[in-house]
């Protein structure tokens, strides 16, 4: 039976460090601040945004809440980003995605100053990751790396398989694993013999959002399985991994909920404080 990777516990430890660093910076006159921008009234996004603001408050990070109507125009949103870029009280900026359909997310994301890109989604942050330069890393993949390290999972030389090639998770996940010297394969909807490829993995990360897709037969005995997928099914949050059966063969596994989710939020706060640290003179 696999050891269960407790994301809540690891996130709490990271949050403790983040809160201590936030207090230290505040004493130096730089009180870390995170601006959260939500356009429209998608209920899931509202929940996420509210949770982020609650996390910030608990850690001594100021949050600046910008809830804009669904019919906000591109120019208005970009003007808000410009003003947040210029605001010295704001160290991290997050524009909740997805945006309403009439808005183009990419120019908005790329307008965020690289030093304030708390999500790590901008071309500069992603380019720095590709180059191996320091910068703000995407929160979910960074959180997965922290989980692997907290549970002493050997990464160097390991075969890592990432299922999903999104810009938010799959691609940066693959790059972070590569940076840690794993041998990485990225799979997606066109991958042939997906189960066979997954069975090669020492570390299997699934981030596609297809409930219980990863079955016991997909997993090499002793592999570490990280489930990034979350789908709401009959009011319950379910992952990409058929947890009970996969836990019988994996050596370590993340649950949903309580695995990667809390880490994403913790890394967002850590990024905000890291961005604020740069503002101390």
Nearest to 274 by CA among 18, 7, 37: 18
Indicate the DSSP class of residue 217.
G
- Residue placing its CB nearer to ligand GUN in the complex, 251 or 271: 271
Indicate the DSSP class of residue 214.
B
By three-state DSSP, how is residue 208 classified?
Answer: coil
Site map for ligand GUN, 137-166, x if CB under 6 A? --x---------------------------
Q: Where are the beta strands (DSSP E) in the chain?
A: 3-4, 33-39, 62-68, 92-95, 159-163, 183-187, 203-206, 224-227, 231-233, 236-238, 252-253
- Residue placing its CB nearer to ligand GUN in the complex, 119 or 202: 119
By three-state DSSP, how is residue 89 classified?
Answer: coil
Single out the residue of 4, 68, 97, 180 in contact with ligand GUN (rule: CB under 6 A). 97
Q: How far apart are CA 187 and CA 189, in angstroms?
A: 7
Please give the size of the binding site for ligand GUN, defined by CB under 6 A.
7
Strand partners, 224: 203, 252
Single out the residue of 5, 94, 126, 205 in contact with ligand GUN (rule: CB under 6 A). 94
Site map for ligand GUN, 208-247, x if CB under 6 A? ----------------------------------------
Least CB distance to ligand GUN at residue 269 (A): 12
Part in contact with ligand GUN (CB under 6 A); list of ranges 53-61, 90-98, 216-224, 241-249? 90-98
Part in contact with ligand GUN (CB under 6 A); list of ranges 94-102, 148-156, 197-205, 227-235? 94-102
Q: State the catalytic residues.
A: 52, 96, 119
Does 271 bind ligand GUN (CB under 6 A)? Our answer is: no
Distance of CA 145 to the CA centre of its chain: 10
Does 96 bind ligand GUN (CB under 6 A)? Our answer is: yes
Single out the residue of 30, 84, 95, 228 in contact with ligand GUN (rule: CB under 6 A). 95
Structure tokens at 41: 């009234």
Residue 42: phi and psi, rounded to 5, are: -60, 125
- Buried-exposed string 178-204: b where 16+ CB fall within 10 A, e elsewhere: bebebbbbbbeeebeebeebbbebbbb
Does 119 bind ligand GUN (CB under 6 A)? Our answer is: yes
- Residue placing its CB nearer to ligand GUN in the complex, 84 or 197: 84
Contacts with ligand GUN by CB under 6 A lie at 94-97, 119, 139, 264
């Amino acid at each position: 039976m696999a050891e269960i990777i407790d994301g809540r516990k690891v996130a709490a430890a990271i949050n403790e460090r983040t809160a201590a660093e936030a207090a230290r910076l505040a004493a130096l006159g730089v009180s870390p601040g995170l601006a959260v921008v939500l356009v429209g009234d998608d209920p899931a996004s509202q929940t996420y945004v509210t949770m982020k603001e609650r996390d910030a408050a608990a850690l001594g990070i100021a949050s600046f809440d910008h809830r804009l109507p669904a019919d906000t125009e591109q120019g208005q949103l970009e003007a808000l980003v410009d003003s947040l870029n210029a605001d010295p009280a704001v160290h991290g900026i997050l524009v909740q995605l997805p945006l309403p359909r009439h808005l183009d997310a990419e120019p908005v994301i790329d307008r965020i100053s690289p030093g304030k890109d708390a999500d790590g989604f901008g071309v500069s942050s992603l380019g720095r990751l590709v180059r191996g330069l320091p910068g703000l890393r995407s929160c979910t993949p960074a959180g997965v790396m922290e989980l692997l390290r907290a549970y002493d999972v050997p990464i160097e030389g390991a075969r890592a398989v990432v299922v999903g090639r999104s810009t938010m998770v799959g691609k940066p996940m693959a790059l972070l694993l590569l940076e840690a010297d794993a041998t990485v394969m990225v799979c997606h909807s066109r991958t042939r013999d997906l189960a066979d490829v997954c069975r090669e993995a020492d570390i299997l990360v699934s981030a596609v959002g297809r409930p219980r897709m990863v079955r016991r037969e997909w997993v090499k005995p002793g592999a570490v399985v990280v489930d990034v997928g979350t789908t709401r099914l009959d009011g319950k949050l379910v992952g990409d991994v058929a947890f009970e059966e996969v836990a019988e063969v994996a050596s370590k596994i993340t649950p949903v909920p309580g695995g990667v989710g809390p880490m994403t939020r913790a890394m967002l706060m850590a990024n905000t404080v890291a961005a604020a640290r740069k503002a101390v003179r």
